[in-house]
Structure 1
Amino acid sequence: MTMGASFKSFWKNYFNFTGTATRAEYWWMVLLGSVLALLWVVATIFLAIFAGLAPADEKLNIWHWLTTLSGGLIVWLVVSGLVFLAIIIPSLSLEVRRIRDTGLNAVLVWVVFAIDILSDIIGSNGLLNDIVSLLILLVLVFPTDKFANVRMIGKNQR
């Protein structure tokens, strides 16, 4: 699968939490998303510099910060937030489809996914979150149907 085909599949399967996604489909989108996120950060920094944002001498006050933003930077941040909201659902569905592709049974797919989301919400800076993220990464790297015939966890085992 090419990057272009992966991108089309990403948007085509916006709410598809039941299918599968190959390693190529998943990792092409991770690469594309990482590159775009890096470009977004660089563009945001440049916009902030050109907008004249500088640390305030007084205590950091959200109202002071908001009143010093230029109109262009506000538009940039609003559009950025909308883009984030637009890609969160297909990103989650892509992760679920990738986990399903490894051959885990349906219950474990949702357990792994729930643990991933909960560890991100609850322990954003803890060791538990790091361990869970590493385990999720390992699951995402495995080839298609790696766990399909594994006793108790595979989709072909009852």
Structure 2
Amino acid sequence: MVFGLVLALIVIVIFMLWMAHSSHFGLAGKIIAIIALPFVGAIIGFLGDLAVASQSVEWFPVLWMYGGFIGMIASLVVMIITATKASHENTGSSVIVFNPDGTEGKLKVTFVQGWKSFFRNAFNFNGRANLQMFGWGLLSYVIINFICCLIMSVISGCLPNGSWMLMTISGLVLLGLMIPLLALNVRRLRDTGMKNRLNYTLSIIGFISPMSIIGTIYKIVLLVLLCMPTEKFQKE
């Protein structure tokens, strides 16, 4: 039963990747794939946890986390490829900000450049960031956040009586990663042509929204806005 569900979900993942690549579904298909892939990956991992747990009572459920991480990576790759194609079609709007002083430069974006820009502009809420820069920066955040979670898990096993220390370290790491992400979101929304007042409001609400159904829905809507083309709202 579990194997059949996993196989069906894998088929769904392949279909979503094809849907994101096919031109028949357009931007709507790409947005659906970007949003759904992390959730489908987590469900596949969860079913794997159930299968392993039935064989060993000492199994700790972690496959759902790995599945969600892989799904998120696939989602980001789809988003970056979509942004790259869009920038090739409209190279005149490919404006990227690297410097904290807000100066702009048109450059070909790579993962290394996106990684550097994510941290160099950690506290830079000025300027703009196109879809490519946002995609590589978000991918950098996901990878580092995942590595930090693994490290925290190892530390928690080594320090069974140091929970307060672990919570302090985890909070500092989380804050250190969320601020650059918040700044990146602000620069990305500004690149879509959104007004600063609405930009800051949406970004701050997304930053402080709780992990609930409403908060998750809000983050999905915010992600859709972050994936809009350059100067989308300014043209409208």
TM-score (normalizing by structure 1): 0.66
Determine the structure 2 residue equivalent to 1:57: none
Cα distance per residue 1:71-114 (max 9 Å; x no partner): xx94x665544333333332211110011111112232123224
Q: Does the alignment pair 1:99 with 2:189?
A: yes
Q: Does the alignment pair 1:84 with 2:171?
A: no
Determine the structure 2 residue equivalent to 1:132: 218
Determine the structure 1 residue equivalent to 2:228: 142
Determine the C-alpha separation between the residues in 2 that align with 1:107 and 1:69.
43
User: Relative to 1, partners in 2 of residues 1:42 and 1:117: Cα closer, same or farther, differing over 3 Å?
Assistant: closer
Determine the structure 2 residue equivalent to 1:64: none
Unaligned runs of 5+ in 2: 1-108
Instruction: Pick from 118, 129, 142 the counterpart of residue 10 of structure 1.
Output: 118
Q: How does 1:1-158 map to 2 (within 5 A)?
A: 1-49=109-157, 51=158, 53=160, 68-69=161-162, 74=165, 78-118=168-208, 120=209, 123-125=210-212, 127-150=213-236
User: Relative to 1, partners in 2 of residues 1:117 and 1:83: Cα closer, same or farther, differing over 3 Å?
Assistant: closer
- Report the AA paired with residue 162 of structure 2: L
- Report the AA paired with residue 147 of structure 1: F
Determine the C-alpha separation between the residues in 2 that align with 1:116 and 1:52.
33
Cα distance per residue 1:41-89 (max 9 Å; x no partner): 222223333x273xxxxxxxxxxxxxx239xx94x66554433333333
Determine the structure 1 residue equivalent to 2:55: none
Q: Is the 8 A contact 2:138 2:181 kept in 1?
A: no
User: Relative to 1, partners in 2 of residues 1:82 and 1:129: Cα closer, same or farther, differing over 3 Å?
Assistant: closer
Determine the C-alpha separation between the residues in 1 that align with 2:155 and 2:123.
33
What SS does structure 2 have at the residue aligned with 1:148?
helix
Q: Between Structure 1 and Structure 2, which shows a larger proportion of helix residues? A: 2
Cα distance per residue 1:118-147 (max 9 Å; x no partner): 5x1xx431x322221111010011121122
- How many aligned positions are there? 128
What percent identity do the matched residue pairs reach? 30
What SS does structure 1 have at the residue aligned with 2:232?
coil
Determine the structure 2 residue equivalent to 1:155: none
Unaligned runs of 5+ in 1: 54-67, 151-158
Bigger relative CO (Cα 8 Å, ≥ 6 apart): 1
